[in-house]
Chain A
């Protein structure tokens, strides 16, 4: 308790004198000066991820993930209604709806050699892909960032810093995945992740927080 009070006091004093923004950079309570401009983005975002990814984002996505079939049916009726029921539009009214999504399906195709590797899953058993699971290292979109209500664009210096958080969250997600090393076509995969949609007809390009490949 004393340490916390002390570091808060140090922080307040340092803030008052330098005008610099201080962030907690380690679990040991140390603080460091972080430049308010672009050069400080990565440090600030790393601190945000440490504070929120495992403790908040992963549990949020697990607890609010909707089955592929349920989500597809809801989107088929109305993307806006589905968004209001299950989704979040973190970047604002002019952005996509983001959803937490989960499912189990058979791999109909996979591109594992690509830098933007993906596994395509058939969920409903018709032999065609229903979802594309992006396993990186290059991951498109910002579904993880935009599903979470605790990342608000207003809290960021500019859209560069906000975009960097989106990329860093994607990187944190795919880093923890068990990546298949050989062809997985025909295998059964269970996943949990997030997906963003601008329109009802779009492919479900999922950013996974976990995948399990049945042996």
Chain B
């Protein structure tokens, strides 16, 4: 609803400024397209990008594709029709997005990708990607330390179709598997979902009551697992997540979940808008197309500084 309203508003503004042409130039528009804002991670991206766009004098058109590539394609059409100068995108599929970005490029509209990459280079101007592998290694190192380098543990894996699920799991195992006394007794997907993780954790506990730790591919699954563990009177089990959400921050501060890894979503979105601005003004960004943004370990020592996917200095 918000989307169509904002679109209407921008169309109205456009119409108004159109009639005033010659007196004042309309603000250039930037489209900001992400998955749904019910996940606070994506909301933080949209909020960060919108704030930076306004600061730099652009009008922001904020839209969501809910991880639906067809919807994303329609949003690209809308953005092109609305005459945006640039598109900032957290995409709906590494392969499926290539065509949409190319379509915009062919119309002279540059795209600046955040969070996740696409499978082609040379089509988007920037791809600013969270370094999930580095982040997972940080989380795993902390997990190993918390576990005292030994004991049975379980892993909750994200949605199998999502590249990030695989790379986080790989980053975890590249560290954890070096410790022969750490034994993975259960390993299952909970599709990034909190309720699903709750159920999976319940059955894992029944099958493996000896579990001492759970490493999770994201924070929502970590929250589900933690709730199931507490309900079963197993608050002693160590849980480590990934994303750096406010929910997990609060849990860490209450000595619930022990650690997570922050993906700097807010900063990433702002950098994308800065690069879009520079590109529109000078024809280049001055940096390579694909850029990795490193993640930061969050535990009791720095959790207080975390707010909406940004860490205060």
Contact = CB atoms under 8 A, between A and B. Distances in A.
Interface of A: 91-96, 115-116, 138, 140, 142, 152-160, 162-163, 167, 198
A141 B111 CA distance: 30
B121 interface: yes
B289 interface: yes
A115 B174 CA distance: 12
Nearest to A163: B133
B33 to A, nearest CB: 20
Contacts of A156: 290
Interface in B171-186: 171, 174-175, 178-179
A207 to B, nearest CB: 14
Contacts of B179: 115
Interface string B284-305: 0001111111100000000000
Contact of B290 (A96, A154, A160, A167): A154
Contacts of B271: 93-94
Interface string B152-188: 0000000000010011001100110011000000000
Contacts of B128: 92, 94
A157 B119 contact: yes
A160 B167 contact: yes
Contact of B117 (A96, A115, A158): A158
Contacts of B268: 94
B131 interface: yes
A154 B125 CA distance: 11
Contacts of B178: 115-116, 138
A167 B175 CA distance: 12
A158 to B, nearest CB: 6
Contacts of A160: 133, 163, 166-167, 170
B174 A153 contact: no
Please classify how large the interface on chain B is, using the bins under 10, 10 to 19, 20 to 34, 35 or more: 20 to 34
A45 to B, nearest CB: 14
Given A92-B293, A198-B294, A155 B121 contact: yes
A121 to B, nearest CB: 22
A142 B131 CA distance: 12
Given A94-B293, A95-B294, A96-B294, A153 B288 contact: yes
B290 A92 contact: yes
Contacts of A95: 131, 291-294
B97 to A, nearest CB: 13
A136 B60 CA distance: 49
B294 A91 contact: yes
B174 A91 contact: no
A115 B127 CA distance: 35
A116 B145 CA distance: 14
B280 to A, nearest CB: 19
Contacts of B133: 159-160, 163
B127 to A, nearest CB: 8
14 contacts: A94-B264, A94-B293, A95-B294, A153-B288, A154-B121, A154-B289, A158-B119, A158-B163, A159-B117, A159-B131, A159-B132, A160-B133, A160-B163, A198-B294
